[in-house]
Structure 1
Amino acid sequence: MADIELKARGNQPQYGYSALSLTSGTDANTTPCRRRPSRWSAWQDRLRTMFCSRRSRRVLYIGSGIILMLAWIGLILAFARSQQQTENNNVQGDAKAVRNISGLGEIWFLAGTLLHIDTNARTLAVQWSGKQYHWNDTKNPLSDFVVSEYYFDGLNIYRDVRAIKDEYVSYMMNDSYDYFMLDNATALPIGNVGIREWDAFNTDVDLVENSTSVWTQPIRGYPFDIWTGSLVIAAHIDFTISRPGLVKFTVIAVIIVNWLSTIVIFLLTGEALINGYKTEFLAGTDMLSVLFAALFALPGVRSLLPGAPDFGSTIDLVGILPNVIIISLCTSCWAVAKLRWQAKQKAESNKNVGKART
């Protein structure tokens, strides 16, 4: 029989130790120091334990979707309420300034309604109608403007002309009223109000840029562009036009989503083609389909934005054009890698067939 000799393993490093740690003067029998898990590791373990089952994971993604939908609906309702409050404040216009003043009798107003705005042509169409204010009517201080009982021909409305006091007529009438005449006797009225309740007239206003800032100037500054225009009808009327908060929020959200998609595609391309994962991705055509879909989807989404101007605004330089360029480059890289991979696979297949024949 063979003799078996048992020897001590004093120089053999224990489990969890290296030989270097033993030779550096550390006693093998000493207890190793254990690091306390970080808070992030503890949270990771807790999350893994919490979402270890399918039901918990299903509840997680369904709850996340519901929260996102509720948040979006809440934002839309908040912007809609803000827009409604603004419209309610503008319904009575300057009539609010004389609401608390008694003894004024009737005050005449012109109420404007937006018909059409074209930022490309830089024009604004407004429809005007007459309103009159009754100081003793608290429920409906603004009513339709009808003065045919006193002025049978109604009131003619002139644009961009100046009224000059006629001293002679005012003196001759001697009824405590001042009478005016136009500085242009050949000017034709642009409308007439006061005969019927539905009398109205339209005006076109030219728009110009309000600011030289790249973020607010018209055309390029969408959705932060601000337009201004002016009109003279018995008074100098200034128009300032900007887009509502809901449009601004929607455009910014679209830009963020486009950039997130572009970054994901760029990182996926780099990891697959450069970092050694090309075999798994190049076997099929799924990735190329995704890239081509994203390449044609970005301009389509841009055209669906509310009130989007022609191509060339700030949103295109920031959120559309660079996205299209990056995705196009990624698509080209994927196409070249796919062709090279197929050629390599074909060469290896022919080589294996040749070996099998020999």
Structure 2
Amino acid sequence: MFRIIWPVCGVFLLATTQSAFAAKPLGPPIEEMLASPELTRVAAGVAREKLEPPRVRFEITDRFSGESPDELALRLDDQTYSDLTVGQTYIFAWTDQRKVALLRKVHEIDPDGPSVVSVRGLSTKALYEDSPEIRSLLTPRNMSSADDAAREIDALLAQMKREDVRSRDLVVAQLFLKPELSGQMSRAQADTLRQVLNMPGLSAQHRDNLLQSALRMNEELRTPWLAEEYRRVIILHGARHDLNSFVPGLVKNSAKGLGQIGEPADVELLSILLYANNPGVARVALRSMDRLDRAAAVARAEQAVERGWVAKQTRRELEKYLENGSKAGN
């Protein structure tokens, strides 16, 4: 007879508030997930039964990190509970502890029982559809050689191409927050990354993270296609963005990237962003324009001020730029 442990709503390494980010920089999520097996355990199990929402009973089949009983009743969030398919095998990180209020490094047993964790910095629960790649990535090991890095990159890219949104959230963040991997990519891996970027339905946040990862690749692997990706983002989204979405960040980082690897002719495209409804986007676009062709940037800045269609904060930035005759933002 199996003993059921009622999982905790433990968010162990995992808080997504700005104050938490300020306290500790985000690291690669897989390493964080595996860092403290006494607090966060990683296991595979078959979803046997949906209990009272949002709990699910799992039969444990494999243990990757820390100890897990033969059976667990884990608490999920409503969306994950709804998406879960009974009878399917999942790999998940769970905890039966929670942080003690006001004591950041002290934990206690969660009275609400065990739960699947939310990895710090990610918007999804750490519950993934079973695959060889996710098993490989969540198996603790020392990754020190170039061959180890190549295997990790291959697994990350292969998992990105799967339909499992939660695991894509994990592996995109892993590549982004482990920047040394991008510099070790091969031609074939760079080609696979391009394929991922061309996948339909890729979220703005994932596209942004992947484009930033691509910028870290060796120059010969990202020329000329990465600059074209940046141009495509700017053309697609234009200057009016949903300020409650990840789109302004995607456009801003695309403008920044284009300023690093673009051509003087890109000033014309970037000048569209001077009229953005997000002043931060306009500010970065101006910096990139200045970097690519200062004389053209000055002309476009003067034109934007004369037209008067720019946001008030952007106007101040443009006027400061024109008065100082220095690089934008200095």
Higher Cα Rg, which structure = 1
Whether the TM-score (by the shorter chain) exceeds 0.5 is: no
Tell me the TM-score normalised to structure 1 length: 0.21
